[in-house]
Amino acid sequence: MKSLRTRLIAGLLLGITLFLAVDGVAIYVVVHSRLQSEQDRSLEGVARSVAPTLFARARLERHADPPPGPPPPLPETFGKGSYLLEGWLEDGTALLRSPGLEPGLLARPSQLDGRASFSDARLADGTPLRVVSLVLRAPPERPEPPARQGHPPRPAPPPPVEVSVAVDSAGLSSTLRQMRWLLAITWISSSLGSAAILTWVVGRALRPVDRLRRQIDAFDAARLGERFELAGAPSELAPVVERLNAFVARLDAAFRREQAFTAHAAHELRTPLSGLRSTLEVELSRPRSAEEHRLAAQQCLEVTLEMQTLVERLLELARLEARAAPGPAQVVSVADLVRGCWEPFAARAAARGVALELRVEPALACSIDVELLRAVLQNLLENAVDYAPASAVVQVVGQAADGGLELRFINPAPDAPPELPQRAFEPFWRADAARSATGLHAGLGLALCERIVTLLGGRLQACLSQGNFTVELRLPASTAAA
């Protein structure tokens, strides 16, 4: 997998080198073209400058009214040997050739329209030549005026001549070669420079990402309380850090809940476990009678049953955490359901003189997962029975409310601590820190109820008023019986 840094550097470098290459080629083409056309223009000028000489020689060659005196000499440029020249008549008769110039090396003009044609040639010693070939025609003359006395008739115009002029192009080639090298070196050095600058710039730009990556690498479950920090980070990374921190905060909260729950569960199991272990250790510490063994076994069984209750509650809670939706709904009479839920505790309540006062409209019914609702009602009634003072009355008041159902469980609680309503639904929290009722009440009942009611779409609230502890159960309109 390629890193973002590599991708960025490679992509940008490729773009820059391509751009530089295209630029270099374009510059070379333009400069080459300019220099070449400059040379060609100059060469053409030189070629045309020999026109009088060639026309004179053509007249001589044709013996047609040759001008008086010797033919005009070649311009000085030819004399120094910088240029080579060969001239012909249209029929191919050679008129003039630079000394030492191999005949036929310079091609005759292929076109006769007077326009210059340019070509390259090479001397026998390898010297590169630029050649211009063109046909020279004498400019048309004004119409001859009527013959005047004493004036000879104007001579006939010279015939067209062909000329090819060559110049040593090694200088231009060398200049162009140097330019090519210069451009290539510039391209390579620019590319290397760009690579270095890009590496630095991209590295610097991605430094916050690296910092974030290092922070993420170093992150583990033990550091969930910490948050990611990117001072001076680019604005693009700010939302990433923000989301990451929000995610870690949720994870942290979940871990803390999980740890607290596990610690509580372990803590709750320790006391009955140590009761069991101590009973067995004492029992085995010396020889005992059969009756003593029986008694110890009975005590161990009681402790084991308490632990079983606790473990079942914990499992129930875990199952509820994993459950996404309640089971199929059934229509049930609320009053009947409350009475049914009271039955298992009726004897325990009677033993303490605790009575149930049921004030629920007989017709009140709801359509709900009855098993879940039964679990809630049983827990609430059991709590009320066990925590109400002796001879108290536990009231259950039910009515339709907001299209749904409202049930209130009220029991006297004269010694309840003021924080009871706020903490009643915390797992393992008990109004009295002691575990005199370990197994019977592990502080899980109301937590279970709250989870179940949430699953049913309802709400559970507690309040403490005038010495009465009230748990209010509200079920949504969707549970109303049709």
Partner 1 sequence: MRILVAEDYLPLRRAVAQALRESGWSVDEAATGSEALVCARGGGHDLIVLDLMLPGMDGLEVLRALRRAGEKCHVLILTARDGVEDRIRGLDAGADDYLVKPFAMEELLARARALLRRGYDVKSPVLSFGEVEIHTSDHRVLVAGEPVELTAREYALLEYLALRAGQVVTRSEIWQHIYDENATVSSNVVDVYVGYLRRKLERPGQPRLIHTRRGEGYLLGLQEDA
Does 436 sit near partner 1 (CB under 8 A)? yes
Stretch that binds partner 1, among 139-147, 199-207, 228-236, 432-440 (CB under 8 A): 432-440
Residues 196 and 206: their CA atoms lie apart, in Å, by 15
Does 432 sit near partner 1 (CB under 8 A)? yes
Residues 113 and 437: their CA atoms lie apart, in Å, by 124
Does 285 sit near partner 1 (CB under 8 A)? yes
Here's the x/- map for partner 1, 302-341, by CB under 8 A: it reads as xx--------------------------------------
Stretch that binds partner 1, among 35-43, 116-124, 277-285, 406-414 (CB under 8 A): 277-285
Q: According to CB under 8 A, which one of 281, 321, 357, 371 is a site residue for partner 1?
A: 281
Residues 7 and 236: their CA atoms lie apart, in Å, by 18
Q: According to CB under 8 A, which one of 66, 159, 275, 389 is a site residue for partner 1?
A: 275
Do residues 94 and 86 make contact, with C-beta atoms less than 8 angstroms apart?
yes
Residues 209 and 371: their CA atoms lie apart, in Å, by 53
Q: Of 77 and 271, which CB lies nearer to partner 1 in the complex structure?
A: 271
The per-residue DSSP string of 24-38 comes to HHHHHHHHHHHHHHH
As measured in angstroms, the least distance from the Cβ of 418 to partner 1 is: 17
Q: Of 123 and 280, which CB lies nearer to partner 1 in the complex structure?
A: 280
Does 260 sit near partner 1 (CB under 8 A)? no
Q: Compute the radius of gyration of the chain from its Cα atoms.
A: 56
Residues 47 and 164: their CA atoms lie apart, in Å, by 7
Distances, alpha carbon 172 to alpha carbons 33, 76, 116, 168, 182, in Å:
11, 22, 20, 9, 15
As measured in angstroms, the least distance from the Cβ of 374 to partner 1 is: 30
As measured in angstroms, the least distance from the Cβ of 262 to partner 1 is: 13
Residues 121 and 24: their CA atoms lie apart, in Å, by 28
Q: For helices 445-455 and 290-322, give the axis angle rounded to 10 degrees.
A: 30
Q: What are the counts of helices (DSSP H) followed by strands (DSSP E) for the chain?
A: 11, 12
Q: Of 86 and 268, which CB lies nearer to partner 1 in the complex structure?
A: 268
Q: Of 436 and 465, which CB lies nearer to partner 1 in the complex structure?
A: 436
Stretch that binds partner 1, among 11-19, 84-92, 105-113, 279-287 (CB under 8 A): 279-287
Does 274 sit near partner 1 (CB under 8 A)? yes
3 state DSSP class of 15: helix
Joined tokens for residue 236: 């693009």
Stretch that binds partner 1, among 52-60, 237-245, 429-437, 467-475 (CB under 8 A): 429-437
As measured in angstroms, the least distance from the Cβ of 269 to partner 1 is: 9
Does 276 sit near partner 1 (CB under 8 A)? yes
Cα 290-291-293 angle, rounded to 5 deg: 65
Q: According to CB under 8 A, which one of 59, 435, 441, 474 is a site residue for partner 1?
A: 435
Q: According to CB under 8 A, which one of 257, 277, 293, 323 is a site residue for partner 1?
A: 277
Q: Measuring CA to CA, which residue among 92, 95, 91, 93 is closest to residue 74?
A: 95
As measured in angstroms, the least distance from the Cβ of 387 to partner 1 is: 13
Does 246 sit near partner 1 (CB under 8 A)? no
Stretch that binds partner 1, among 33-41, 132-140, 188-196, 268-276 (CB under 8 A): 268-276
Does 272 sit near partner 1 (CB under 8 A)? yes
Q: Measuring CA to CA, which residue among 192, 167, 163, 149 is closest to residue 52?
A: 163
Residues 117 and 199: their CA atoms lie apart, in Å, by 52
Residues 384 and 471: their CA atoms lie apart, in Å, by 10
| Site size for partner 1 (CB under 8 A) | 24
Do residues 393 and 355 make contact, with C-beta atoms less than 8 angstroms apart?
yes
C-beta neighbour count of 435 within 10 angstroms: 19
Q: According to CB under 8 A, which one of 94, 249, 282, 401 is a site residue for partner 1?
A: 282
Q: Of 27 and 431, which CB lies nearer to partner 1 in the complex structure?
A: 431
Q: C-alpha 13: how far from its chain's center?
A: 21
Q: Of 122 and 277, which CB lies nearer to partner 1 in the complex structure?
A: 277
Binding site for partner 1 (CB under 8 A): 267, 270-279, 281-282, 285-286, 299, 302-303, 432-436, 438
